[in-house]
Structure 1
Amino acid sequence: MAEGEMADADTEPAVQPGQLSVVTTATHGIRVLTLAGEIDRDTGQTLRQALDASGTPRPRIVVDLSRVTFMDSTGINIFIAAHHSLTEAGGWKRLAAPTEAVMRTLQIVGVDAVIDCRDTLRQALSN
């Protein structure tokens, strides 16, 4: 996909319960990870690999959570670790469009005060 284009979310395959799908695109130099499914101990490695920006100078990542149905402490820990790594590399990460259940989890543990959370993907991609 050319830079500046976004994947059509309606063309993504359905995700089986207990699985996590990650679709990676880029727009305006920002890597966009569109997640679908569950983030837990069994799917954490998939998310960890998708967030890895080793060797990328000043990485910028937006994580679209609009299709995430469940997230436990595994996801919280991965997001915090990635936040620290990206910040140390001079970059940033934003979380976009979390579902109500995911946002509640982020708020309960205070992640929304540490990591920039936006209501929509469009907001997360803007300055």
Structure 2
Amino acid sequence: MADTDELAGPERLSVSSALIDGITVVTVRGEIDHHTADPLRQALTPPDGAAGPRTVADLSGVTFMDSSGINALIAAYQAHGEGGRLRLAGIRPPVLRVLQLVGVDALIPCYPTARQALDA
């Protein structure tokens, strides 16, 4: 998989992906809201028919997330199915607090760093 980079919305969300050790790592920077959630959703959704997709979302560059981002994460988790896995990494405290309030951290495993998520 080649690196990709997409900018979206007025906050200029940056979403890039790379294949590391057979795992798709999606690196996200900026604010995730109603105007910028679609590129995140697209980047985290595995291709149709992918067997056992494995994805790490590196959110260390995310400074804000609203319910649109939460919905994108839940949709991506569901798209991975039983044989796949989605991990979140590097979540800043204010964003992590939002994920904890709605219980996303109990649904999708969260790790301090992308390396730890890759090794899990």
Alignment TM class, shorter chain as reference: 0.7 to 0.9
TM-score by length of 2: 0.88
- Residue 77 of structure 1 aligns with which residue? 71
For the Cα contact (< 8 Å) 2:87–2:111, is it kept in 1?
yes
Q: How does 1:11-50 map to 2 (within 5 A)?
A: 18-50=11-43
SS at match of 1:42: coil
For the Cα contact (< 8 Å) 2:89–2:114, is it kept in 1?
yes
- Partners of 2:9 and 2:60 lie apart in 1 by 16
Quick one: which amino acid aligns to residue 98 of structure 2?
A: T
Q: How does 1:54-65 map to 2 (within 5 A)?
A: 54-65=48-59
Cα RMSD of the aligned pairs, angstroms, is 2.1
What CA deviation, in whole Å up to 9, does each residue of 1:44-101 have, x standing for no partner?
111111112122111000000000010000011111111111024x101000010111
- Do residues 123 (structure 1) and 116 (structure 2) align? yes
Runs of 4+ in 1 over 4 A off after TM superposition: none
Unaligned runs of 5+ in 1: none
Q: How does 1:86-101 map to 2 (within 5 A)?
A: 86-88=80-82, 90-101=83-94
Higher-Rg member (1/2): 1
- Partners of 1:17 and 1:49 lie apart in 2 by 18
Quick one: which amino acid aligns to residue 87 of structure 2?
A: R
Quick one: which amino acid aligns to residue 57 of structure 2?
A: V
Count of residue pairs brought into register by the alignment: 116
For the Cα contact (< 8 Å) 1:20–1:38, is it kept in 2?
yes
Check 1:69–1:16 CA distance in 2 against 1; reply closer, same or farther (3 A cut): farther
Quick one: which amino acid aligns to residue 116 of structure 2?
A: Q
- Partners of 1:17 and 1:63 lie apart in 2 by 22
